[in-house]
Amino acid sequence: MTTDAADQGSAELAPDATAPSLAALVETANAWLAQDPDPVTRAELGALVTDAAAGSTTARADLTDRFTARLEFGTAGLRGEIGAGPNRMNRVLVSQAAAGLAAYLLTKSETPSVVIGYDGRTNSDVFATDTAEIMAGAGVRAILLPRLLPTPVLAFAVRHLDVSAGVMVTASHNPPRDNGYKVYLGGDDQGSQIVPPADAEIAEFIHGVAAGSVLDLPRSPEYETADESVLDAYVSATAALVETAPAPLRVVYTAMHGVGWETARRVFAASGFPEPIVVSEQIAPDSAFPTVAFPNPEEPGALDLALELAARERADLIIANDPDADRLAVAVPDAAGTWRRLSGNEVGLLLGWRAAERLARAGQHGTFAASIVSSPGLAAVANAYDLEYADTLTGFKWISRAAGLAYGFEEALGYLVNPATVRDKDGISAALDFLALASELKAAGRSLAEHQAAFDERFGAFASSQISLRMSDLSEIPRIMARLRAAPPHTVGGIPVRVIEDFREGFGDFPPSDILRIWLDGGARIVVRPSGTEPKLKVYIDASSTSGTASERRADAEATVAALDAGMRTLVA
């Protein structure tokens, strides 16, 4: 039986007058139990109901959290902790989402179709199969990918198979107990993730389904399973990014307990690269993610095993994918032999320069795009090559929709180097492109540090930092945002604030968003926003310099960022 402090004789918690009664909670939970096809979540919920009825305040609070809110379907689809109830990820919620999406697709086409992918997280295969059966039962042609595969392969398949929509069951780099449900649209949307108003329209259909029981939804085993040709086509299209035979590199690779290795291995081999040295403890899919606290290459400690292996093997480079392989992390040795992980902005700018050179060689034009929290250095690259540039809201659902897109990136380790093939961030194609860059530099006898200095000399030095505050109390995030709006700073880190742009009611061409953008004297910029996928408040700081030598520019930009970082930490504490 579940116990808590009150059960053990301490003072009872005062009941929340706005919370539902215990009887109402139990009735709602029992109705959920009656339609839940999963014995694991049924047993979990049954134990909670029993404990709550026996007087456990912890169990009652847990029931209240699960049944007085719902994981809302939005532009990130669904994402949350696995468990019973509408405020968790489970087979009931996924079945409702699948049926709602099917109903939406049937309003758009007489013969809609969907391709479904899944990663190695807990229940990903189950959720994908439920989706395929419900889609087929609703009259939607459903195609299930042959096995667990990376998110970029699913995003590729939406366009390659010319289907109406795609579903990827993944929680990407979220904590181990989470799972999620991402939706892509074909046709005019070109395989991009959903954006308004499609998300709200789908959500309305889902709410209609949720009024009944998922046991009443028609299901059919008459869905298709894709053959290997889908993966073969993705490998072939991605490998084509490499234009010349690569110089040998010693590369350490980690899949972060995810699904990237099989596909990345094939892509690297097809491009002529030798097989990387793998972090064996992290190379196979494992939903428990046993070697990391959070399966996110950005998190402290996540790359420790890769760094230890690279040092032993005297590697040239570390390449890391997140669990669904849509993100890329890179680490490199410095002159002293120590290792440094490059930031998403550093990788994004170097790949952007590379993309601009590729376009110039081909005599082509296009648009570069980055989210408003990513380095403004990409705009400088675009301007130098006479390319269009677009600022977008955060998320590749926006970046991928830039007209004439030729390259896009987001500072959170997301890069789109092949938009003609995939309309989402792709950690495998980005890894290949970075490997090609490192190979070319090695063949020319140049270091990555020298290449970065050449970037600073040509475009200016761009420095950045990020403050990421993980909150156990989610109400603290809106409180901090409200405080900044009520008492906006006049200086940050000793630098005067020039203007503050509030996106709450919409700003320029951007829709309403909970974002503050602070511009400072000298052109530095700070963006503050809640994370869209995790319980975090994020602060993004950028500064640049075009005065002096490359090293002087770098020092100047980094000094400004350091001052602003210290100032913002005081403001959001």
Residues annotated as catalytic (active site), given as ranges: 172
Q: What is the pLDDT of residue 64?
A: 96
Q: What is the pLDDT of residue 337?
A: 79
Rounded distance, CA 3 to CA 305, Å? 37
Q: Where are the domains of the chain?
A: 1-68, 78-227, 232-457, 460-572
460-572 matches 78-227 in CATH topology: no
**Angle at Cα 554 formed by Cα 552 and Cα 558, nearest 5°?**
120
Q: Over pLDDT 90: what percentage of the chain?
A: 89
Q: What is the pLDDT of residue 564?
A: 98
Q: What is the pLDDT of residue 245?
A: 79
Q: What is the pLDDT of residue 334?
A: 86
DSSP readout, 400-443?
Answer: TTSTTEEEEEETTTEEES-TTT-SS--HHHHHHHHHHHHHHHHH
User: Peptide bond preceding 197: is omega within 30 degrees of 0, i.e. cis?
Assistant: yes
DSSP state of 281: G
CATH class of 78-227: alpha beta
The contacts of residue 157 (CB under 8 Å, 6+ apart) are 115, 117, 143, 145, 163, 166, 226, 230, 234
Confidence of residue 16 (pLDDT cuts 50, 70, 90): low
The contacts of residue 11 (CB under 8 Å, 6+ apart) are none
162-171, 409-418, 503-512: the lowest-pLDDT one: 503-512
Kindly report the pTM of this predicted structure: 0.92
CATH number, domain 232-457: 3.40.120.10
Torsions phi, psi for 184 (to 5 deg) = -115, 155
Confidence of residue 243 (pLDDT cuts 50, 70, 90): confident
Rounded distance, CA 461 to CA 465, Å? 14
162, pLDDT greater than 50: yes
The contacts of residue 365 (CB under 8 Å, 6+ apart) are 359, 386, 387, 388, 404, 406
Q: What is the pLDDT of residue 5?
A: 31
pLDDT digits (tens, 9 = 90+) for 379-434: 999 999 999 999 999 999 999 999 999 999 999 999 999 999 999 999 999 999 99
Rounded distance, CA 126 to CA 538, Å? 33
Whether 182 and 49 have beta carbons less than 8 Å apart is answered as no
18-32, 202-216, 277-291: the lowest-pLDDT one: 18-32
Find the DSSP H helices in 213-291: 229-239, 260-270
493, pLDDT greater than 50: yes
pLDDT digits (tens, 9 = 90+) for 182-198: 999 999 999 999 999 99
Q: What is the pLDDT of residue 247?
A: 85
Rounded distance, CA 529 to CA 241, Å? 35
Print burial letters for 173-191: b (CB count within 10 Å at least 16), e (below 16): bbebbbbbbbbbbbeebeb
Mean pLDDT over 549-558 rounds to 97
6, pLDDT greater than 50: no
pLDDT digits (tens, 9 = 90+) for 297-342: 999 899 999 999 999 999 999 999 999 999 999 999 987 779 999 9
DSSP state of 377: H
pLDDT digits (tens, 9 = 90+) for 263-294: 999 999 999 999 999 999 999 999 999 999 99
DSSP readout, 528-542?
Answer: EEE-SSSSEEEEEEE
Q: What is the pLDDT of residue 4?
A: 33
Rounded distance, CA 552 to CA 370, Å? 26
Confidence of residue 532 (pLDDT cuts 50, 70, 90): confident
7, pLDDT greater than 50: no
133, pLDDT greater than 60: yes
**What is the homologous superfamily of the domain 460-572 according to CATH?**
Alpha-D-phosphohexomutase, C-terminal domain (3.30.310.50)
Q: What is the pLDDT of residue 509?
A: 86
Q: In the numeric block, which tokens belong to residue 522?
A: 């000298």
**Considering all CA atoms of the chain, what is the largest pairwise distance in Å, rounded to the nearest integer?**
76
Q: What is the pLDDT of residue 2?
A: 31
